[in-house]
Amino acid sequence: MPLPFIIGGLAAAAALGGIGSSIHGGVKMKKANDTMKMAEKRQKRAIVNLEKRNRETAAMMDRIGEQELSILQSFGEFTDLIEKIQNRPVFKTYQKEGIKLPKYQGEELKKISTGAGILIGGLGGAAIGTAGGFAAAGATTSAVMALGTASTGTAIASLSGVAATHATLAALGGGAIAAGGGGMALGTAVLGGATLGIGLLVGGVIFNVTGSKLSDKADEAYQQAKKTEMESNKIISYFNFLCASASVFESNLKKVNDEYKKRFKILNDIVNADRKTEWNEFNESEQLLTENLIMLVGLLYKMCQIKLVLKSDKEDGINTVNKKEINQNTRDVDFVLQNLDTVKE
């Protein structure tokens, strides 16, 4: 075969090979591009779903935290009422059927009421999830800490509004949920400021999700997106469990508080409207009413001590919903409410 034909044939073959390589390269590029788009879409969807459930959980936990603080604050008015009753008996610790409620201690209830009032005063300007953080750590603990000392050495009780709320969050320290090990700075970093308490309800694992970014390599990006999705689903599942348990607790808290407010109004009328301030002037029904009211306050006090969330021992671990105490509380509430106006120590 003449040389020109051979060279021409080789050139044609080379051209075809180049076209083939280009086509193959183009297919690879399209595939990589599609993979990146899929990874990005998957990653965004996972984060959006997580943020949505986070906001819903924050709203529920905030509602519970605000309710608990409101109840604790009301103890000041309750104490003032009880202190007007002269020659009243010592109201002892209630202990029956495995249920133990604290005895009446007026001074302690007044302090807690003051602390709760300080925190309520700061909630208006606080981030979403702050009140939920108090509920998670136990609102009673938070109220007590509000009377402590801030890191600056200033008495928190002397602060006001948001400053007092923030100082209490920081004072709760590494062992509590609301502030976690990193104080306020760590709390506000979660999910773009949503928020002080709620992100830390989950534990360090949430940072593995919110801090992850897609890599430049398509395969790596897709694997990372899958990991983000898996972690997000795990946290969403945790939020679902927390909300279900918190909903039970919230229902119980409302039932007990409704009974408390109803009886408080009656006793308030007896003492302030009818001006009965001598225990011996109280008839049996009025004495029983007072004793039941003391019992309800003890139950509410105990409920506000419950940590709805238990902090993980691992820095990047997921926290635990305190299902055991929430279930025990349900049994306590059922027994106490069923025996109101009949139980007498």
The four Cα atoms 174, 204, 122, 56 give a dihedral, to 10 degrees, of -150
The two three-digit tokens of residue 75, written as one number: 């103890």
pLDDT at 230: 87
The two three-digit tokens of residue 282, written as one number: 């109280």
Percentage, residues of the chain above pLDDT 90: 37
pLDDT at 148: 75
pLDDT at 96: 81
pLDDT at 231: 84
pLDDT at 333: 96
The four Cα atoms 101, 107, 109, 113 give a dihedral, to 10 degrees, of -170
The four Cα atoms 118, 119, 125, 128 give a dihedral, to 10 degrees, of 180
- Whether residue 92 contacts residue 343, with contact meaning beta carbons closer than 8 Å, is answered with no
Task: Give the chain's residues under pLDDT 70.
Answer: 1-28, 149-153, 169-201, 203-216, 342-345
- Please measure the distance between the N-terminal and C-terminal CA atoms of the chain and give it in whole angstroms: 118
Helix (H, G, I), strand (E, B) or coil at 212: coil
Give how far Cα 284 sits from Cα of 90, 279, 280, 281, 288, Å. Answer: 16, 10, 10, 10, 6
Cβ atoms within 10 A of the Cβ of 106, count? Answer: 15
pLDDT at 213: 63
pLDDT at 180: 37
255's CB contacts (< 8 A; 6+ apart) are 333, 337
pLDDT at 42: 87
